[in-house]
Chain A
Amino acid sequence: MKKEWVLTQDSFDGLLDWLDADRERAGKAYEAIRLRLIKIFTCRGCSEAEDLADETINRVVTRVREIAPDFAGDPVQYFYGVSHKVHLEYLRKRHLTQELEDTVSPAAIQSTSSIDLAEDIEPEYQCLERCLGQLPENSRDLVVRYYQQEKQAKIDHRKRLAEELGIAVNALRIRAHRIRQSLHECVLKCLEEQPAN
């Protein structure tokens, strides 16, 4: 999917100008669009989500000087339209592989998942312990307490924890998620640093 196309400073500046007159805000808008495009491609089951998001952005950049002056509305919608085309091309290229995947029987899916679940997560576990050790104590305590317990006990437990912290249950949910996300990033970084077997 990746095309040999180089993003020039001039064309990139054109994109930033279109997104926002303020350069800092434009940079943030660009980052947000890229992340969300990656997520959307991921949610559509595309294995090359990052490449597809970059391809979408590159295509917008090549046309930005031409379209920006007359474009009405949120530029994000234009990105979304281009992402559709990129996705359709991706699907066409993947057509044969897709056909093969569709013929996989449910029994085969079942056994694949059993293999996934039985997979050894020792490296992740080691890294997680290390990363938890690097967290501030209150964050570590929060993430452990938030995700502990089962079913009803978990719900009651979270309510109590939110009351203790003086925040709403949903604010607690967001806070726990952000810590979990930073832990996951730390674990990925730690795994990269580990010597390959």
Chain B
Amino acid sequence: MTPNLAEQERIRRYLLGQLADDARQAIEGDLLTSGELFEELQIVEDELIDEYLAGKMSADENVQFRRHFMATVDRQDKVRFAGALHRYLKEKERASAPNLRAAMMKRAWAIPVASLALIVLIAAGLWLTRTREPRTFATVTLNLSYGERGPGDQPTRVKLDPDIDALKLLLKLPDSSPPETQYRAELLDNSGGSQSVEAVVQDSQMVSVLIRANKLKREAFAIRLFARGPDGVEHRINGNYLFVIE
């Protein structure tokens, strides 16, 4: 089974104790009968722990994680194990870094050459971007999905005609969104890849993102939104904006 993003979000919310009773019972029933879902749940558990240790969770999720997820000794063991794994990986990276530096020093000429090449590449990239600004758009409004299999949680189906240059998504913000907030968006594809996309605030209830059509294959996507308040602290907005390119 290749898990789709909505399923991963449903599991994530289940693990954080954020699902309503009926949604929780539905996932538990599925867990008992599906070995694949059971394994997927264990994988998402690991990913949640990694996110927690890397400090990438939203403030709400962080509290839920500590209050609900880490309530049992087994889970605390898992977090401690993951902590040891993170430390091992960091030390391994640190140990290999000086070798890289030494290799660079031996080839001192490589630095200016690489810098020049980088400047040329950036200039070429900028030129290409400017000369190919999208002219035709398909515009779709998306609501936040919380992965509870409710009627509003189905991904929005989007058909892109061949003459469309870009997809403009209007993302409805949660009701409680404070003003003076900046947003950053990430586009996730079905195989786990992600890329940053620019998010532009339209008004207090809407943020727009623009995605070039050539970046969108026929598959399911999710947008994750991150908010940065006046205090400069960034946190993830719970839920995803789901859509499928047909």
State the A residues within 8 Å of B (CB): 32-33, 35-37, 39-40, 42-43, 45-47, 49, 74, 76-77, 79-80, 106, 109, 112-113, 116-117, 119, 121, 124-125, 127-129, 132, 144, 147-148, 150, 152, 155, 158-159, 168-170, 173-174, 177, 180-181, 183-184, 187-188
Contact residues in B for A132 (Cβ distance below 8 Å): 88
Complex CA gap A45/B24 in Å reads 13
- Asked if B17 and A45 sit within 8 Å, CB to CB, the answer is yes
- In the assembled complex, how far is the CB of residue A110 from the closest CB belonging to chain B, in whole angstroms? 8
- Asked if B89 and A144 sit within 8 Å, CB to CB, the answer is yes
Binds A, one of B31-39, B119-127, B157-165: B31-39
- Asked if A168 and B2 sit within 8 Å, CB to CB, the answer is yes
Closest to A40 in B: B28
- B175: CB under 8 A from chain A? no
- Asked if A33 and B72 sit within 8 Å, CB to CB, the answer is no
Contact residues in B for A184 (Cβ distance below 8 Å): 78, 81
Complex CA gap A148/B194 in Å reads 17
Query: Quick one: which of B2, B32, B194 contacts A170, CB cutoff 8 A?
Result: B2
Closest to B70 in A: A116
Closest to A146 in B: B89
A–B Cβ pairs within 8 angstroms, 29 of them? A33-B32, A39-B42, A42-B72, A45-B17, A45-B71, A49-B74, A77-B29, A77-B32, A79-B32, A106-B63, A121-B84, A124-B83, A124-B84, A132-B88, A147-B50, A148-B93, A150-B54, A152-B194, A152-B196, A169-B191, A170-B2, A170-B191, A173-B43, A173-B192, A177-B39, A177-B42, A180-B46, A181-B42, A184-B78
- B73: CB under 8 A from chain A? yes
- Asked if A125 and B39 sit within 8 Å, CB to CB, the answer is no
Complex CA gap A32/B74 in Å reads 18
Contact residues in A for B14 (Cβ distance below 8 Å): 43
Closest to A113 in B: B66
- Asked if B28 and A170 sit within 8 Å, CB to CB, the answer is no
Query: Quick one: which of A33, A127, A169 contacts B192, CB cutoff 8 A?
Result: A169
Contact residues in A for B149 (Cβ distance below 8 Å): none
Closest to B88 in A: A128
Given contacts A148-B89, A158-B192, A168-B2, are A128 and B76 in contact (CB under 8 A)? Answer: no
- In the assembled complex, how far is the CB of residue A120 from the closest CB belonging to chain B, in whole angstroms? 9
Given contacts A79-B32, A169-B192, are A121 and B89 in contact (CB under 8 A)? Answer: no
Given contacts A49-B74, A124-B80, A124-B84, are A155 and B32 in contact (CB under 8 A)? Answer: no
- Asked if A147 and B85 sit within 8 Å, CB to CB, the answer is yes
- B195: CB under 8 A from chain A? yes
Contact residues in A for B3 (Cβ distance below 8 Å): 170
Between B14, B39, B73, B192, the greatest number of chain A beta carbons within 10 A of the residue's beta carbon is seen for B192
